[in-house]
Amino acid sequence: MIERRIITGFSNPTVKHIRSLRDKKHRRREGRFLAEGLRILTEALEAGHVPETLILSDRAEPHPLIDALEAAVDARGGEVIETSVDILEKLSGKSNPQTVLGVFADLPTALDALDRNASPIWLVAQEIRDPGNLGTMLRTGDAVGAGGLILLDDCTDPFSVESVRASMGALFTQHIARANGADFLAWLRAGPGQLVGTSLQTETDYQTPGYAPPVFILTGNEARGLPDDYEAACDLLVRMPMMGKADSLNAAVATAVMAYEVLNQLRRS
Amino acid sequence: MIERRIITGFSNPTVKHIRSLRDKKHRRREGRFLAEGLRILTEALEAGHVPETLILSDRAEPHPLIDALEAAVDARGGEVIETSVDILEKLSGKSNPQTVLGVFADLPTALDALDRNASPIWLVAQEIRDPGNLGTMLRTGDAVGAGGLILLDDCTDPFSVESVRASMGALFTQHIARANGADFLAWLRAGPGQLVGTSLQTETDYQTPGYAPPVFILTGNEARGLPDDYEAACDLLVRMPMMGKADSLNAAVATAVMAYEVLNQLRRS
């Protein structure tokens, strides 16, 4: 039986510390982030990521996946905290007594750590601001077998609670890199890679070109799309057919439609 | 010049009434909903939907699209309200003085009002709970030329502020119907229509079948997917390839990937 530390008070410093990680400023300062839910923590564990601290409620029913998490945390010298449902709700926003919460050390985000030849598809997001969109892009990246998600310029924090939740654990299976546009382009052009942007300023249908891996699918900001200089840097600009009144798709949807087209081409070849 | 009613007080009953429409219970009782933003209100106008009440700030710069909205509201006997940025922020959640807000009468949602032959693609959502997903599905429906979105069982309210915003105005260009599963299936089977569900319980790749319009693309709840009896009622169950650790896509993403496959087949034929 793994020893659990019991915390009963809202004013406990550990409770305050964990709660502070819901805030970006504190995440950055501490180099730590939160992930919630048995499914997501189990995905993390399977990908080799063990929380430093695991928090569960004193009313959590026994569960083999919880046992596995506790054992892994203990083996790495981490801490298992048992607390009330009320305190867990304050930390996680969920009143479910089965909720589990993990504190993780930041994942590496250096561009140079990526092996571009490890995967035929990479996703690239430029100033994506909605954490749900960013997490959804990670989830889609996992589904299409992408290597990871490269965040350019001022994207929302991929380690926010909302992004981690929307990723459904793909945060732990996809590589994440952060860079500015100039550094990314310098890195990209130092090796193979086809940069494909979706744009309204082209007549090229997204099903027309032949994509050559590794394909880097570039998606711009939700409101503004891609800046002109990013479009100019692309090897290919393509557009999805738009049959209605609207001239654009949700950013995460556009990324997914594009990524499945590339995957479908690769499956056929 | 259209006459504007000036409202300066937070406690004004009209302000309270409009604000109450952010709440589902009040929307249902009043049969009215809110839409925000010049772009979305202009989409509504172009689709023939004029707000009963238009609210703008006393610091809004003149704009031809605002003029067009005011003229349309006035011509229909509606009211234009000018108020402070602070009150507008209370109503819309936005502190932008250019924000405009419209109060609309509920759109019709009867299944019998749909003309299934008006479009080759229809989207069907079963117990979709996230308003962002639902609005995104409407936006995707517009993009692929779908006729509308049919909401089965206990879906989130399509007229919530979040859903309307995520739809980017497609709420006004797509037909919306609400039904329970039995009524929907009875309606569906009374005419032509291929019901296609995405499922983990099939080996049929989503690019294998030939889709026959009108195609009804059925997407299940975010956490649970489609119930077994809905899967059994489908003419086709298909799956998208999943190359990673995850076994599912975001519901709005899955709908879009599926809808673009159907559209692409229709474009080729």
Q: Looking at this predicted complex, what is its ipTM?
A: 0.94
- Token representation of residue B104: 């609309």
Distance from CA of B251 to the nearest CA of A (A): 10
Mean pLDDT value of segment A133-152:
98
Report d(CA B97, CA B114) in Å as an integer.
39
Are B39 and B169 in contact by the 8 Å Cβ rule? The answer is: yes
3-class state of residue B141 by DSSP: helix
Closest CA to A138 of A44, A46, A29: A44
Q: Which residue of B has its CA nearest to A267?
A: B241
Report yes or no: B48 at the A interface, CB cutoff 8 Å.
Answer: no
Backbone angles phi, psi at B45, to 5 degrees: -60, -45
Report d(CA A132, CA B136) in Å as an integer.
12
Report d(CA A245, CA B6) in Å as an integer.
34
With CB atoms and an 8 Å threshold, state whether A244 touches B136.
no
Closest CA to A150 of A172, A124, A132: A124
Angle at A120 between CA A116 and CA A121, to 5 degrees: 90
Instruction: Note which residues in 177-206 of chain A have CB less than 8 A from chain B.
Output: none
With CB atoms and an 8 Å threshold, state whether B245 touches A46.
yes
Report d(CA B83, CA B88) in Å as an integer.
7
Report yes or no: B175 at the A interface, CB cutoff 8 Å.
Answer: no
pLDDT digits (tens, 9 = 90+) for A216-236: 999 999 999 999 999 999 999
pLDDT value at position B14? 92
% of chain A at pLDDT higher than 90 = 91
With CB atoms and an 8 Å threshold, state whether A267 touches B143.
no
With CB atoms and an 8 Å threshold, state whether A244 touches B170.
yes
3-class state of residue B211 by DSSP: coil
Would you state the CATH architecture of domain B111-268?
Answer: 3-Layer(aba) Sandwich (3.40)
Cβ-Cβ contacts under 8 Å, B248 against chain A = 143, 168
Residue A201 has pLDDT above 90, yes or no: no
Residue A18 has pLDDT above 80, yes or no: yes
Residue B1 has pLDDT above 80, yes or no: no
DSSP A169: T
CB pairs below 8 Å between A and B: how many?
116
Residue A191 has pLDDT above 80, yes or no: yes
pLDDT value at position B3? 87
Residue B269 has pLDDT above 80, yes or no: yes
Report yes or no: B173 at the A interface, CB cutoff 8 Å.
Answer: yes
Distance from CA of B127 to the nearest CA of A (A): 18
Mean pLDDT value of segment A3-8:
91
Fold classification of B5-105 (topology level): 60s Ribosomal Protein L30; Chain: A; (3.30.1330)
Mean pLDDT value of segment B73-82:
96
Backbone angles phi, psi at A239, to 5 degrees: -135, 150
Interface test with B, best of A40, A253, A263 (most B CBs within 10 A): A253
b vs e for B65-97, b when ≥16 Cβ sit within 10 Å of the residue's Cβ?
Answer: ebeebbebbbeeebbbbbbbbebbbbbbebeee
With CB atoms and an 8 Å threshold, state whether B145 touches A244.
yes
Residue A1 has pLDDT above 80, yes or no: no
Residue B10 binned pLDDT confidence (cut-offs 50, 70, 90):
confident
In one letter, which amino acid is A17?
H
Domain spans in chain A, listed from the N-terminal domain onward: 4-105, 111-268
% of chain B at pLDDT higher than 90 = 91
Q: Which residue of A has its CA nearest to B132?
A: A132
With CB atoms and an 8 Å threshold, state whether B144 touches A243.
yes
Cβ-Cβ contacts under 8 Å, A139 against chain B = 246, 249-250, 253
Report yes or no: B242 at the A interface, CB cutoff 8 Å.
Answer: yes
User: A189 burial class (0-12, 13-18, 19+ CB within 10 angstroms)?
Assistant: exposed
With CB atoms and an 8 Å threshold, state whether A264 touches B207.
yes
Report yes or no: A207 at the B interface, CB cutoff 8 Å.
Answer: yes
Give the one of B140, B244, B257 whose C-beta lies nearest to A173's C-beta: B244
Please count the other Cβ atoms lying within 10 Å of the Cβ belonging to residue B1. Answer: 6
Strand-pair partners of B152: B126, B179
Residue B97 has pLDDT above 90, yes or no: no
With CB atoms and an 8 Å threshold, state whether A144 touches B263.
no
Report residue B120 CA to chain centroid gap.
19
- Token representation of residue B103: 């109060």
Chain-wide mean pLDDT for chain B? Answer: 95
Residue B246 binned pLDDT confidence (cut-offs 50, 70, 90):
confident
pLDDT value at position A213? 97
Report d(CA B38, CA B267) in Å as an integer.
33
pLDDT digits (tens, 9 = 90+) for B228-243: 999 999 999 999 999 9
- Token representation of residue B113: 């009002």
Mean pLDDT value of segment A171-186:
97
pLDDT value at position A222? 95
Mean pLDDT value of segment A152-166:
96
% of chain A at pLDDT higher than 70 = 100
Give the one of B143, B173, B246 whose C-beta lies nearest to A170's C-beta: B246
Sort strands A100-105 and A32-36 into parallel, antiparallel or unpaired.
antiparallel
With CB atoms and an 8 Å threshold, state whether A144 touches B267.
no
Are B263 and B144 in contact by the 8 Å Cβ rule? The answer is: yes
Sort strands A215-219 and A194-198 into parallel, antiparallel or unpaired.
parallel
3-class state of residue B225 by DSSP: strand
Residue A93 binned pLDDT confidence (cut-offs 50, 70, 90):
confident
Fold classification of A4-105 (topology level): 60s Ribosomal Protein L30; Chain: A; (3.30.1330)
Are A20 and A14 in contact by the 8 Å Cβ rule? The answer is: no
CB proximity list for A195: less than 8 A, separation 6 or greater: A124, A188, A216, A218, A233, A234, A235, A236
- Cα–Cα distances (Å) from A143 to A128, A160, B117, B180, B254, in that order, read 20, 21, 34, 31, 11
CA atoms within 13 A on the CB side of B200: 10
Sort strands A121-126 and A215-219 into parallel, antiparallel or unpaired.
parallel
Chain-wide mean pLDDT for chain A? Answer: 95
Residue A120 binned pLDDT confidence (cut-offs 50, 70, 90):
very high
